[in-house]
Amino acid sequence: MTMNRRNFLINSSTALAGLLLASGHPRLHADSQETHTDRPTNERKTQMKTAVSIVDDAFYINGEITYPGRSYQGNKVEGLLINTRMVQGIFDDRNPETIYRWEYPDTGVWDPERNTREFLSAMPAWRAHGVLGFTINLQGGSPEGYSKAQPWHNSGIEADGSLNPDYLSRLERIIDFADALGMVVILGYFYFGQDQRVKDEDAVKNAVDNATGWLFDKGYTNVIVEVNNECNVRAYTHDILKPDRVHELIERVKATTRNGNRFLVGTSYGGGKVPLENVVRSSDFLLIHGNGVKDPNRIIEMVQQTREVPGYRPMPILFNEDDHFDFDKPLNNFVAAVSQYASWGYFDPGENDYHHGYQSVPVQWQLNTPRKRAFFEKAREITGFDA
Split at pLDDT 50, 70, 90, the class of 23 is very low
User: What local confidence, expressed as pLDDT, does residue 147 receive?
Assistant: 84
* Tens digit of each residue's pLDDT (9 = 90 or more) over 40-50: 333 454 689 99
How long, in residues, is the chain? 387
Residues 192-207, mean pLDDT to the nearest whole number: 97
CATH number at residue 300: 3.20.20.80
Closest CA to 363 of 97, 143, 133, 131: 143
* Tens digit of each residue's pLDDT (9 = 90 or more) over 365-380: 999 999 999 999 999 9
User: What local confidence, expressed as pLDDT, does residue 29 receive?
Assistant: 28
Residue 5 has pLDDT above 50, yes or no: no
The pTM is what?
A: 0.90
User: What local confidence, expressed as pLDDT, does residue 211 receive?
Assistant: 98
Cα dist from 237 to 148, 251, 363, whole Å:
14, 20, 28
Closest CA to 174 of 228, 118, 94, 225: 118
Residue 346 has pLDDT above 90, yes or no: yes
Split at pLDDT 50, 70, 90, the class of 386 is confident
In sequence order, the β-bridge partners of residue 60 are 53, 65
Q: Mention every residue, 6+ apart, whose C-beta is less than 8 A from residue 85.
A: 134, 135, 141, 320, 321, 345, 346, 347, 348, 358, 359
User: What local confidence, expressed as pLDDT, does residue 270 receive?
Assistant: 97
Residue 288 is classified by DSSP as: E
* Tens digit of each residue's pLDDT (9 = 90 or more) over 163-182: 999 999 999 999 999 999 99
Distance CA 337, CA 278 (A): 23
User: What local confidence, expressed as pLDDT, does residue 181 receive?
Assistant: 98
Residues 296-307, mean pLDDT to the nearest whole number: 98
- Round the average pLDDT of the chain to a whole number and report it: 90
User: What local confidence, expressed as pLDDT, does residue 34 receive?
Assistant: 42
Residues 2-28, mean pLDDT to the nearest whole number: 32
Q: Which domain holds residue 282?
A: 5-22+30-383
Split at pLDDT 50, 70, 90, the class of 2 is very low
Residue bearing the bigger pLDDT, 153 or 33: 153
Considering just the CA atoms, what is the radius of gyration of the chain in Å? 19
User: What local confidence, expressed as pLDDT, does residue 309 receive?
Assistant: 98
Q: 52 with 221: CB under 8 angstroms? A: yes
What is the domain count for the chain? 1
User: What local confidence, expressed as pLDDT, does residue 44 receive?
Assistant: 54
Residue 260 has pLDDT above 70, yes or no: yes
User: What local confidence, expressed as pLDDT, does residue 148 receive?
Assistant: 81
* Angle in degrees, 0-180, between the axes of helices 112-128 and 165-181, rounded to the nearest 10: 20
